[in-house]
Every structure is written in structure tokens, then in C-alpha cells.
Amino acid sequence: MQRLECEVAVIGAGSAGLSVAAGLGQLGLRTILIEHAAMGGECLNTGCVPSKALLAAGKAAYDGGNGIPGISGTASGVDFAAVKEGVLDVMAAIAPKDSVQRFEGLGVRVLRCSAAFVDSRTLRAGDDTVRADRVVIATGSSPAIPAVPGLSAGNVFTNETIFALRQKPSHLLIMGGGPVGIEMAMAHRRLGVPVTVIQKSSILPRDEPELIEILRRLLRRENVAILEGADAVSARHDADGVVLTVRQGGRDEAIRGSHLLVATGRVPRVEGLGLDAAGIEHNARGIVVDARLRTTQRHVFALGDVIDAPRFTHAAAYQAGIVVRNVAFRLPARVGYASLPWVTYTDPELAHVGLTEAEARKRHDDAVRIELASLEENDRAIAEHRAAGAMKIVLGRRGRVLGASILAPAAGEMIGLWCLAIRRKLPLRAIADLMLPYPTMSEIGKAAAGQHYRAALFGKTARRLVRALQSLPAW
């Protein structure tokens, strides 16, 4: 047993913990990173990376090949096991960025074990004891399994296990119509798997309804069965898979599937950390933190999925910057999520930043204006036969951009401009004045902006002014 001392101990080597450890290590602080599971956490191993690789495989099958492993041109020609091997290859290619060797090269000592607080400054890490001036908790979250009678956690898949499945499902049931559920529905359907999504409310309930409706039609066109307003009331596992009884509109229906993916949310991973011994407040939503990401023990910070905050990899990276500024530079940096984007990586992608229309009307009442532009008017979308999509902009007083949503190919790449607009509190005219390349999908934003000013620019007042100016002597 060793007694180790450091300036900062980081618990958890997912996106949040790795970002903090890399920053502090490179700034010369004696940093110990403690992780008992795979380096890289959910994003690399069970989340962002494998899901996007699987979506790319599904898109390749849908589009006719594109050199993706296991894809021979059509869904009927998909080698499902080979596709999954291709997903593992993608993960392996990215893994060195999150490896023990890389972080030790950055000056971080890595302990491959679990950790628990003995007191607020002391951790038990495997057989060792770590004494730290500051501690950072970044242990992430786990999939939530709903309390449905007969549902057995050992017989269902989550995002932590679905990517290891080599057998092609004959019918995949998905509980949950949020981003994970919808992404996996599209990916598997395009790989030739019959899919049924069961969702309590509307699919993607945090997004704008006009754009969700377009995406819903596209999913159903690809024969994804979507049951909305549906509750799973019981489950029965047998040798052939699972039978899920679903209640919709007061009627019960039994749906048989070969496999069941549960994508109904996540719970913070706090069990076994010894938070009570450290005097750190926590609840069902996670560890309680202030705007500087400090816990009730001010020298202990927490970030990422283990706190009650937006659960995205890019949010964790942003929070890591806040922690580094507080710890290393002693700056009172605080979090703010007004310009935080999110993307559902379907095809087309659905991206959002800022307030939705419903949120804006609650805060600003009648001052809210909406501009909605269709991809059907976008020349690039027409040329590529991909005109199913739209953009919705939420505006406040004096045309200030409050929110933006885009349903379009590569919407995730397009949303950055609107993040900047909200971050810098720009008026819509700043977008209307841009010179954008033609033809591009991004012109839909400029089109929506121009639409907002069209009445003023070409209305009666402007026409009278132009007519009056024409009577003046020529220059």
C-alpha cells in the first residue's frame, strides 16, 4: 500500500475527467487520474463514437456502399457482424487519444482502479491512499432501466452493450424516442433490421415540433414503426426474445421482438464514491454543484454526467475548461448554457441551439417572432434531391436571435454560426448581411433572415422612398 500525494485527483477518465486531467497536467500541476474501467468513458466506448460509426454504416447501406466494412450495396447485402467489427476498428483508431500512455506523457499519473472518499481530501484508490489538495469527480452516468414488471436488466440491451451485438436482430424493439433511441432506430433499419420505437410522449420532445414532424415522416417512409404516447406496462422474456405489452390510447398490445434496446435516459454514477463520508451533497439528479462546479466541499469539483446539467460530450469539455480556470488560475469562472447546441445524428441531422419557441414564449410573451424556411427552396438541396428539411429561427426584441433549429444534411456543421449569434447576442441582420457561398445548405439560414426583413425592405414605405429618390438629380 502506498500513500500518494498530489495537487489534484481526478476520478473518472471519460470526456470530462480526461479534459480536466490533460489541462492540469500540461499546466504543471501534480495530477492523479483514477479510472477502473475503459479509458475514454461512454463517448469513446459506448456512446458518440460507436453510434456515429454505426450510423455511417447504415447510411452507406442506404446510399449503396461507400466502402464501409460489411456493406455490399444494399440492406439485404449487409454483413451485420462485419459492420460491428468496423465499428470496433473506428473506436480503436481513436482510442490512443484517450490512452494511459498519452496521459502519462502529459504528466498525469494514471491509477487503474476504483476510488472512494475516506474524507473530503483523502481517497482510497485500490490498495493505495491518495491525499489531494483538490478533487474532481467525473464518474459519468449509467443507463436507466425503467421499473416495468417483468423487465430484466440482464436480458435487454443499452448503449453500453448494443455495439457488442454481432447477431442481426430479426426485430429490434427500442424503448425511448430520444436522440439515442431515434439514432439507433435509423441505423439499424438501414442495416436491414425491422425496428419499433416505443415512446411515452412525442419522439425527440425537446426539439421543435415542425421539424420533428418532417423527421417522423422520413423515419416512417423508411419503415421505422413509431408508437408515440405509448407506455410499456410489462415485459416477458423467453427463448425467442421478448414480448413487450404496450398501452396506447387505453388499449394494450403485445409486441414481440428478438431484442430490446432500452434508451430511456441515464442516472448519475455516484454509488460507491463515499460522498457522505466526504460531506458532499447529492440527490437523484446527481452531485449538487454551484455555477463554478464546486460541490458543498468547495475544494471538490464535479462535472459531466454526474451532475444535473446538459449531458453532452461537448458540454463536458466546456465544463472542464471552467474547472481548469478555477483550479489552475484561481479565476471565478462560471458555467452558462445559453449557447449550448445539441444534435441528433439522423439523416438528415436535427440540430438546435438556444430557446425553442415554447421556451421563448414563456420568457418573452408577445415579443417573440418566428421565421421558418424550407429546404425545398434551397438550390443545393434541390440539386441533391435532399430537400426534406427546414430551419426555424426564434427571435426576440429588435430581431435578436434567441434560438435556432435546423433539420438538414450536416445540420450539426451548420449550427455553429447560430451558436455564435446567440453567444454574442447578435441581431438577425448580422446573418442577413453575410455573404455565403452558393450553392450550399447553409444558405437556408440567410434565406430565413432575409424572409424576416422582406416586408420592410419591399413594402409600401420602401417603395415610396425609392420612387422619391429617383426624382433627385443623377450623381
C-alpha cell at 324: 481548469
193 within some domain: yes
Q: What is the domain range of residue 424?
A: 341-460
Largest CA distance in the chain: 93
Question: What pLDDT is stored for residue 391 in this prediction?
Answer: 98
Question: What pLDDT is stored for residue 364 in this prediction?
Answer: 86
- Note the pTM of the prediction, 2 decimals: 0.94
Question: What pLDDT is stored for residue 74 in this prediction?
Answer: 56
Report the CATH number at residue 193. Answer: 3.50.50.60
Question: What pLDDT is stored for residue 68 in this prediction?
Answer: 60
Handedness of CA 422, 427, 428, 433 (dihedral sign): negative
10-residue averages of pLDDT along the chain (475 residues): 95 98 98 97 93 93 67 69 94 95 97 98 97 98 95 91 95 98 98 97 97 98 97 95 95 97 97 98 98 98 98 97 98 97 98 97 90 96 95 95 97 97 94 93 93 82 87 82
Closest C-alpha to 140, from 319, 5, 2: 319
Of 233, 264, 295, which marks where a domain is finished? 264
Distance between CA atoms of 265 and 195, rounded to whole angstroms?
Answer: 19
Q: Which residues contact 370 (CB under 8 A, 6 or more apart)?
A: 357, 392, 393, 394, 395
β-strand partners of 266: 143
**Helical spans, DSSP H, in 27-132:** 41-45, 48-63, 80-94, 100-105
Q: For residue 212, give the DSSP letter.
A: H
Question: What pLDDT is stored for residue 442 in this prediction?
Answer: 95
Question: What pLDDT is stored for residue 114 in this prediction?
Answer: 97
Instruction: State how many domains the chain has.
Output: 3
Of 286, 305, 328, which marks where a domain is finished? 328
Question: What pLDDT is stored for residue 69 in this prediction?
Answer: 64
Distance between CA atoms of 173 and 195, rounded to whole angstroms?
Answer: 6
Handedness of CA 399, 405, 411, 413 (dihedral sign): positive
Question: What pLDDT is stored for residue 75 in this prediction?
Answer: 54
61 within some domain: no
Question: What pLDDT is stored for residue 455 in this prediction?
Answer: 75
Handedness of CA 217, 219, 220, 225 (dihedral sign): negative
Of 328, 363, 381, which marks where a domain is finished? 328
**Residue 305: in which H helix or E strand, if any?**
none
Question: Same domain, yes or no, for 285 and 411?
Answer: no
